[in-house]
Amino acid sequence: MQKNNNIVKAVNKNVRSSPRKISLVLDHIRGKKVDAVLRDLDFIRKKISLDVSKTVKSAIANAENNNQFDIDNLYVKEAYVGKSLVMKRFRPRAKGRASPIKKPFSRITIILSERKETKDGPKN
């Protein structure tokens, strides 16, 4: 596998929310610049947007400290969520039975990349 030096990755493991709920927020931030992403996450009225914002800030810090990227040129190249562990609980029911309750956890992955500035003008 080829190592790509112009990307930065941040992973937030074991987030206490289902992947389906998190993917609704991640769909809004994919492909945007990081300053617009942080601004948009402040106004999204979902509880999970705080965890997504924390992961984006971690990726920005990784880009700035480890790779010396310019923050103004960073954008969200990939943002995806995957399953993590599932906490199982049981709810008592009628006639001595019990029904399972599944409390899912998720893993958020944010990949940032540096977008090259292009000149606005005719191509030669």
Confidence of residue 118 (pLDDT cuts 50, 70, 90): low
Q: Is the pLDDT of residue 2 over 90?
A: no
| pTM as predicted | 0.84
> Distance between CA 74 and CA 117 in Å, rounded?
11
Better-scored residue on pLDDT, 112 or 4: 112
pLDDT at 119: 65
Question: How far apart are the C-alpha atoms of 124 and 122, rounded to whole Å?
Answer: 6
Mention every residue, 6+ apart, whose C-beta is less than 8 A from residue 37.
Answer: 29, 56, 76
pLDDT, mean of residues 56-83 = 91
Please state which of the four CATH numbers 3.40.190.290, 3.10.350.10, 3.90.470.10, 3.40.190.10 is assigned to the domain occupying 8-114.
Answer: 3.90.470.10
Note the pLDDT tens digit of each residue in 71-101.
Answer: 898 999 999 999 999 999 999 999 999 999 9
3 pLDDT band (50/70/90 cuts)?
Answer: low
Read off the tokens for 6: 């112009």
